[in-house]
Structure 1
Amino acid sequence: MSDQPLTYSPFDAEVIADPYPVYRELRANSPAHWSREANSWVLSRYDDVSAALADPATYSSASGIFPTPPGVDMTELFLPMLIMSDPPRHTQLRQIVSRAFTPRRIAALEPHIETLVKDLLDQTPEAGNWEFVSGFAGPLPAIVIADMLGVPRDDRDQFRAWSTTLIQSNPVRGEFGAGLDAAAALYEYFTAFLAERRAHPQDDLMTALVQAEVDGEYLSEEELLGFCLLLLVAGHETTTNLLSNSAVVLAQHPDVRQQLADDPELVPAAVEELLRFDSPVQGLARTLTAPVELHGESMQTGDTVLLLFGSANRDDHAFPHADRFDVNRHPERQVAFGRGIHFCLGASLARLEARIALQTLLTRRPDWDVDLDAAVRLHSGPIRGYISLPMQ
């Protein structure tokens, strides 16, 4: 190990490119680590991350879930939303939106998703280079969530652009203003669309949100807009990045890829391992409501704590030989989608989309390669994925 003091910043370009070496150092030498760059404590071990996720009373989401450098306030990017709330309001809001993500409703989407996957692949060239993110991994979940919300498919490219700009708002790189503009554009769009749904109700999630009541009261305009932003961004960013990360990992493990092509029944287990091995959400923050003593460090009320899902999923104590990609592992305990009351509502949808997409891709294009030299990564602290991924 280097003689230099251990530092960790989720905004550092080298960390974004490959965070796993510094995660190993954090777990081994500084499991409760103060990051000046992120202005937060950083928990990297599986047991600590899992315990924090299971204790929302101490590790609160209400003050924000994204780590930020000192002096930067990202709360103006986001109106009140489910993922940034605590009980009892969180419980009430989750009950409303969870109706759209029941197992029965998600299972009913399978034929629709299969058709979308085939149509998208039909539009790609049979030979030569093609752009995996803009041509496949981005449009697929964007279309699915747009159809669920009831917004026009023709707007999906604009949604994708706004969403990417928002997620890419790395404050260290001076991109905060662009993120504010993207959030404002999304809120303006959905303000008009919500008004249209009030006047002309339809059989879609947007109408259901407008008509939803909590304790006899309708959701506020800010809560509705927060729902729309969360569902749009979280509803497709996670799957887009899961698919692009998976394409890279499988290209780097051609023997495993061939094993999956020969036996498509292995793909659901492979999706779990892909989620563990290179998590699309590397970590989210919480705020302490009480002091916590951990690994000899004293964390105080009001301190921000960054929970590194990506590091927890590479902890050898939870997953033996964790740096090995193994589709026979069955890592049911992985925390790529979080855990507890904030477990990702769209996890089952993301898993379904990923399974269908990978099974079809393995059938239609089983020998793909990726050009990592030409690929462009997202420069986002918590989100790991690609803006562009050339494939052939």
Structure 2
Amino acid sequence: MSNQQLTYSPFDPEVMADPYPVYRELRAHAPVYWSSQANCWVLSRYDDVCVALADPATHSSASGIFPTPPGVDMTDLFLPMLIMSDPPRHTQLRHLVSKAFTPRRITELEPHIHSIVDDLLDQVPVAGPWDFVSRFAGPLPAIVIADMLGVPRKDRDQFRNWSTTLIQSNPTRGEFGPGLDAAAALYEYFSAFLTERRAHPRDDLMTALVQAEVDGEQLTDDELLGFCLLLLVAGHETTTNLLSNSAVILAQHPDTRRQLADNPDLIPAAVEELLRYDSPVQGLARTLTQQVDLHGQPMKAGDTVLLLFGSANRDDHAITDADHFDINRRPERQVAFGRGIHFCLGASLARLEARVALQALLARHRDWDVDLDSAVRLHSGPIRGYASLPVH
């Protein structure tokens, strides 16, 4: 099959429903593919994605990390974010905010996460259908992030609504207005919150960020607000979609589900395989700072390149029998959280939340079915998950 016969867009609903067949075709026949619908080059092979992630000087994040259709410019819509910055500022900011995600801090969160998970599961019906996203996978990371920031519990539902609206906005269907409104509301909320923490410091992440210094200077308000938005959306939606995708995969593999229920010690390795097999973030974009020639195809400076993590994680040349779900494989090569300087800052927290959530879920419910006919998928480009997932 030639490049001309392939059609790929991260915004295509059919691709969102099951992207893996077209990924297979891209890897085999068009490893450097121009998507006119997304206005970007697409890299689908494991080695090519990893090389690009390891070269931030050539593959810049400063102009945005999501592909956009022709005529849609999102560059100036959001305040500065760590994930959309390059060295040296990225190095300074990451060093600062990484202090909130040290192994000790993450370990200290585990009892609190257990308590949240148990409370949520206490509220779902033992029999009958319930929505896995709205009742469990969505609230869990939203509560954890809100508590880390020091947000009052009375505001949790509003946080969840803002984050969901933002991540589900789709610029290809003229639906980005609600997302911008949600972002504006979040900025306004956090702005007042920052002012309050300056006047009344507390032992929380928000106060630590307000008081922190980089080379003798405090973060600007725009940097603080951008980080808050990033933490809420990235830290929330990644875990929500990891858990939702996991519920579907384990329902489709009941023998593995029973194996995990009988052997909880296997769950950490299973989380890595779940991340690889159906990655919550299927890809992120970069902008080339100079021409790159790959597989005989020149890509010029200024072009956008979409790095398909989801395809890389299914590349048989890097991962044996990659389309097969196997919790016993070695997980080191998966790239669901990216690589290099932009490796997901909250990866350890997402892994902890997933491990605790799956262990508690399997302890209470060894079997469940998912109603995929009634499920509603997210339609937000390379973000893969569910807006609604009925389970029995």
Normalised TM-score (structure 2): 0.98
Equivalent residue number for residue 310 of structure 2: 310
Equivalent residue number for residue 291 of structure 1: 291
Equivalent residue number for residue 65 of structure 2: 65
Equivalent residue number for residue 54 of structure 2: 54
Normalised TM-score (structure 1): 0.98
1:3 is displaced (CA, Å) by: 10
One-letter amino acid of the counterpart of residue 128, structure 1: G
Deviations 1:79-99 (A, max 9, x none): 101000000000000011100
Equivalent residue number for residue 145 of structure 2: 145
SS at match of 2:349: helix
SS at match of 2:360: helix
SS at match of 1:349: helix
Identity of paired residues, percent?
82
1:75 is displaced (CA, Å) by: 2.1
Equivalent residue number for residue 209 of structure 2: 209
Q: Which moved more, 1:179-188 or 1:273-282?
A: 179-188
- Asked whether 1:378 is paired with 2:378, we answer yes
1:163 is displaced (CA, Å) by: 1.2
- Asked whether 1:271 is paired with 2:271, we answer yes
The answer to whether the 8 Å contact 1:67/1:306 transfers is yes
Equivalent residue number for residue 363 of structure 1: 363
Equivalent residue number for residue 6 of structure 1: 6
One-letter amino acid of the counterpart of residue 9, structure 2: S
1:4 is displaced (CA, Å) by: 7.0
1:74 is displaced (CA, Å) by: 1.2
Q: Using the alignment, how far apart are the partners of 2:382 and 2:4 within structure 1?
A: 25
Question: What RMSD, in angstroms, separates the aligned Cα atoms of the two structures?
Answer: 1.1
The answer to whether the 8 Å contact 1:319/1:331 transfers is no
Within-5 A mapping of 1:157-168:
157-168=157-168
Deviations 1:315-343 (A, max 9, x none): 00111111100010122110000000000
Q: Using the alignment, how far apart are the partners of 1:206 and 1:3 within structure 2?
A: 49
Runs of 4+ deviating beyond 4 Å:
1-4
Within-5 A mapping of 1:55-134:
55-134=55-134
Q: Using the alignment, how far apart are the partners of 1:216 and 1:81 within structure 2?
A: 20
SS at match of 1:51: helix
Q: How many residue pairs get matched? A: 392
Within-5 A mapping of 1:172-211:
172-211=172-211
One-letter amino acid of the counterpart of residue 280, structure 1: P
1:12 is displaced (CA, Å) by: 0.4
Q: Using the alignment, how far apart are the partners of 1:271 and 1:42 within structure 2?
A: 27
Q: Using the alignment, how far apart are the partners of 1:18 and 1:146 within structure 2?
A: 32
Q: Using the alignment, how far apart are the partners of 1:4 and 1:228 within structure 2?
A: 42
One-letter amino acid of the counterpart of residue 29, structure 1: H
Give the unaligned 5+ runs of structure 1. Answer: none
SS at match of 1:62: coil
One-letter amino acid of the counterpart of residue 377, structure 1: R
**Inter-CA distance 372–218: structure 2 relative to 1 (3 Å threshold):** same
Equivalent residue number for residue 42 of structure 2: 42
**Inter-CA distance 55–2: structure 2 relative to 1 (3 Å threshold):** closer
One-letter amino acid of the counterpart of residue 151, structure 2: V
Q: Using the alignment, how far apart are the partners of 1:162 and 1:384 within structure 2?
A: 18
- Asked whether 1:154 is paired with 2:161, we answer no
One-letter amino acid of the counterpart of residue 378, structure 1: L
- Asked whether 1:338 is paired with 2:338, we answer yes
Q: Using the alignment, how far apart are the partners of 2:167 and 2:2 within structure 1?
A: 32
The answer to whether the 8 Å contact 2:277/2:314 transfers is yes
SS at match of 1:318: coil
- Asked whether 1:251 is paired with 2:251, we answer yes
SS at match of 1:79: coil
